[in-house]
Structures are given as C-alpha cells and as structure tokens.
C-alpha cells in the first residue's frame, strides 16, 4: 500500500476516539522567494531533504524514480547548467 501512497485507516476507531483531521497546503507562494534568497545566501540549508542532484537532461529519470517512490528518492534538485553550485 505504501508504494501507492496509501495507508490502512480504521475510520470506526478514529470516530470512536473522537479524533480530528485537518488538511491544507503550505503557503508556497508567500515564502518561496524569501526562502530561495536565504538558501542562496547560505542562511538556510535544505540539503538534508535533497537526495539527488541531477543535470537537467536527467530530469525524466529523476521524475520517474521520485514518482515511483523508489527507495531513497526524497527530493531532486535539477541543475540547468549541468553541475552543482
């Protein structure tokens, strides 16, 4: 089930315990430029999330592996000029 992004969930037990679920998305548009600037300045280091850095030509391979939830593919950074900074 995990390969498909699914988890077993007992709705009856959840209801019985009186639990709540909340959903939502991060406000990416509100923060993406600020975070990019912090990363560029070396003040933020998200590298612990990055599993692979690839040249742009390898983007299809990277997307395939990430989408298939292949082991170890958590975040892919693509470099248009073909090399890391």
Q: Is residue 84 part of a domain?
A: yes
Whether the pLDDT of residue 42 is over 70: the answer is yes
Handedness of CA 15, 18, 24, 26 (dihedral sign): negative
Q: Is residue 80 part of a domain?
A: yes
pLDDT for residue 85: 54
Q: Quick one: which of 25, 30, 78, 31 has its CA closest to 51?
A: 78
Q: Is residue 11 part of a domain?
A: no
Q: Is residue 39 part of a domain?
A: no
Q: Is residue 15 part of a domain?
A: no
Q: Quick one: which of 36, 56, 53, 32 has its CA closest to 44?
A: 36
Neighbours of 53 (CB within 10 A): 16
Q: Is residue 7 part of a domain?
A: no
Q: Which domain holds residue 65?
A: 46-85
pLDDT for residue 84: 62
Contacts (Cβ under 8 Å, ≥6 apart) of 50? 74, 75, 76, 77
State mean pLDDT over 24-35: 87
Q: Is residue 58 part of a domain?
A: yes
Q: Is residue 17 part of a domain?
A: no
Count of structural domains within the chain: 1
Whether the pLDDT of residue 57 is over 90: the answer is yes
Query: How large a percentage of the chain has pLDDT more than 90?
Result: 51
Report yes or no: 44 and 38 within 8 Å, Cβ to Cβ.
yes
């Amino acid at each position: 089930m995990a390969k498909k992004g699914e988890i077993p969930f007992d709705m009856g037990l959840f209801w019985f315990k009186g639990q709540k679920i909340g959903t939502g998305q991060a406000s990416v548009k509100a923060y993406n430029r600020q975070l990019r600037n912090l990363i560029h300045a070396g003040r933020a280091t998200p590298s612990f999330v990055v599993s692979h850095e690839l040249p742009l030509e390898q983007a299809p391979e990277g997307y395939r592996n990430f989408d298939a939830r292949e082991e170890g593919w958590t975040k892919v950074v693509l470099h248009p000029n073909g090399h890391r900074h």
